[in-house]
């Protein structure tokens, strides 16, 4: 049975990935949904009567979750043809002024969990499979006041490019999506709402369109996908401008 694993499926972009996956990858018949809020996952599962859905309530900041997943993978040996590393968090605040646990949670979830999920899953993927990593426009240039978050997303984009090359011989495509701000729980959780002029000024991306474009980009085997013309231009600008100059204008 062809299986998709989606992290952060209980809200925002992850939930939208689950809703739209069958539009572009109808051959996938089993979904493993991962997040901490099981009730939300179960609610989403009810909207997918044609699919076999497993709701896995796991905290991906807890390494014991990786042990549980590894055991499940080893026992069931699923045919994973899609991994969507979507779970992520981003907190506003200068280093030295925000709790250490808050700053390091971004590393645990955005980096460690993403690497662990990918490393555990690849052995169960065959030719024609896809990995989608949710990065951000924050990966294009460091963003003061969200330095840890932007650095974590720079890792995600760089990791994607390296992994895509590494997995080419296995026929597995790897895609990073780099959206701009979206109106999801992310903004309140990260203490961003009302506290960032940049987030108040920037154009917002529509989650539904971001997901539709990302799934198409993955199907086409693209490595980096940036939704919205405005952010495509920003990506080019960030590439051609010295980072020490860019960073002066990139504070959140």
Ligand X SMILES: NC(=O)c1ccc[n+]([C@@H]2O[C@H](COP(=O)([O-])OP(=O)(O)OC[C@H]3O[C@@H](n4cnc5c(N)ncnc54)[C@H](OP(=O)(O)O)[C@@H]3O)[C@@H](O)[C@H]2O)c1
Count CA atoms within 13 Å of residue 2 on its CB side.
14
Q: How far apart are CA 235 and CA 154, in angstroms?
A: 12
Residue 46 CB, shortest distance to ligand X, in Å, is 16
Q: Which is nearer to ligand X, 78 or 181 (CB)?
A: 181
Find the part of the chain contacting ligand X (CB under 6 A) among 43-51, 116-124, 181-189, 244-252: 181-189
Closer to ligand X by CB, 35 or 120: give it: 35
Q: State the Cα–Cα distance between residues 43 and 119, nearest whole angstrom.
A: 29
Residue 202's nearest CA partner among 188, 225, 182, 222 is 182
Q: Binding string to ligand X for residues 206 to 235, with x set by CB under 6 A, is what?
A: ------------------------------
**Is 78 one of the binding residues for ligand X (CB under 6 A)?**
no
Closer CB to ligand X, 12 or 142, in the complex: 12
The answer for residues whose C-beta is within 8 angstroms of residue 106's C-beta and 6 or more apart is 88, 89, 90, 91, 148, 149, 152
Which of 69, 169 has the CB closer to ligand X?
69
Provide the minimum distance between the beta carbon of 155 and ligand X in the complex, in angstroms, as a whole number: 12
Residues of span 26-45 touching ligand X by CB under 6 A: 35-37, 40
What's the closest the beta carbon of residue 54 comes to ligand X, in angstroms?
15
Residue closer to ligand X (CB basis): 132 or 173: 132
| Residue choice 55, 84, 134, 173 for contact with ligand X (CB under 6 A) | 134
Q: Is 148 in the site for ligand X (CB under 6 A)?
A: no
Residue 142 or 179: the one with the smaller Cβ distance to ligand X is 179
Task: By CB under 6 A, name the one of 102, 184, 193, 223 that touches ligand X.
Answer: 184
Does 129 bind ligand X (CB under 6 A)? Our answer is: no
Q: Interface with ligand X by CB under 6 A: which residues?
A: 8-14, 35-37, 40, 59-61, 86-90, 109, 134, 136, 179, 181-182, 184-186, 189
């Amino acid at each position: 049975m062809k299986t998709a694993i989606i992290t952060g499926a209980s809200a925002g972009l992850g939930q939208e990935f689950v809703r739209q996956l069958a539009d572009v990858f109808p051959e996938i018949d089993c979904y493993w949904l991962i997040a901490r809020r099981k009730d939300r996952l179960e609610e989403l599962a009810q909207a997918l009567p044609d699919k076999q859905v497993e709701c896995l309530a796991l905290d991906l900041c807890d390494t014991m979750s990786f042990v549980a997943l590894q055991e499940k993978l080893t026992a069931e040996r699923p045919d994973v043809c899609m991994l969507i590393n979507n779970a992520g968090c981003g907190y506003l605040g200068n280093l030295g002024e925000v709790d250490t646990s808050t700053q390091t949670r971004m590393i645990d979830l955005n980096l460690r969990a993403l690497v662990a999920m990918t490393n555990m899953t690849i052995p169960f993927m065959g030719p024609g499979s896809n990995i989608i990593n949710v990065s951000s426009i924050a990966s294009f240039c460091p963003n003061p006041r969200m330095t840890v978050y932007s650095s974590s997303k720079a890792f995600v984009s760089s990791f994607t490019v390296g992994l895509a090359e590494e997995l080419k011989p296995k026929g597995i495509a790897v895609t990073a999506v780099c959206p701009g701000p979206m109106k999801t729980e992310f903004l309140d959780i990260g203490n961003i709402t009302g506290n960032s002029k940049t987030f108040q000024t920037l154009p917002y991306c529509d989650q539904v369109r971001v997901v539709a474009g990302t799934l198409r980009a993955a199907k086409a085997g693209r490595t980096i996908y940036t939704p919205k013309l405005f952010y495509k231009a920003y990506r080019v600008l960030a590439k051609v401008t010295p980072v020490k100059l860019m960073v002066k204008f990139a504070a959140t």
